[in-house]
Amino acid sequence: MKAWPAVAVGLAAALWLADEVVDQPPPRPSPRAGREPGPPPSANGLVPPPVGRLQGGRRDSSSRPTLCLQPLGSFGGEALAALRRDLSRDGPVVVMGRVPVPPPAWRGAGQYDGEVILAALADRQPAGSWLLAVADVDGTKPGRTHAFGLTAASCGRAVVFARRLARGTSVAGYHRRLVVTARHELGHLAGLGHCDDPRCVMRLSRTVADTDRKRPEPCRRCRTGQR
């Protein structure tokens, strides 16, 4: 199996994170001659990849990039199938071959660093696609006790940590938590920031109870950009 590349701390620190608003976004490159400038930054300071237009208050998913669903470690089976079924409603989904959780991401106490995982997955992501990794482990990032997911929005990559989502619920409840968390991270890839509506999928979850309160879709304000 192909060895994971060494990941420098500086590279991980350069990632856009779903759980934070980055104070200083990187400078945008000048548009090439003969091309129109790209989209302006969204409310959270990120420049979203092209994902279609809003039609009737909902985002047209016909031009959403292909979503590559990347299982990590032992994640798979019914949970992977349920997640694929749900996310396929919004556009094409390709399930990639399972690979190990990158060993450099290990942080002890059963946790893995999401920033390092996102950086290490760069060579797994086909050009022009989004990549959503799901790992049956507990995740974290510097300064946090845990994380349900992280997003590198400028790179089109995200990761969901499933271990805590499976605790204290039924199989159906676990699958719902996976969908809600995945759709939250994909919302960040589409340029959405966090929302203060506790029922909106873009609400920041600090506990699984927060996740259980959320619907698996954005609220009207997030869908229409009226925030």
Residue 194's contacts (CB-CB under 8 Å, 6 or more residues apart) are 44, 202, 203, 204
- The half-sphere exposure of 49 on its side-chain side, counting CA atoms within 13 A, is 22
CA distances from 79 to 43, 71, 171, 219 (A): 33, 10, 9, 25
Catalytic residue among 20, 78, 115, 185: 185
What is the bridge-based pairing of β-strands 93-95 and 67-72?
parallel
Q: How far apart are CA 175 and CA 79, in angstroms?
A: 6
Does the annotation count 185 as an active-site position?
A: yes
Q: How far apart are CA 118 and CA 112, in angstroms?
A: 11
Active-site residue numbers? 185
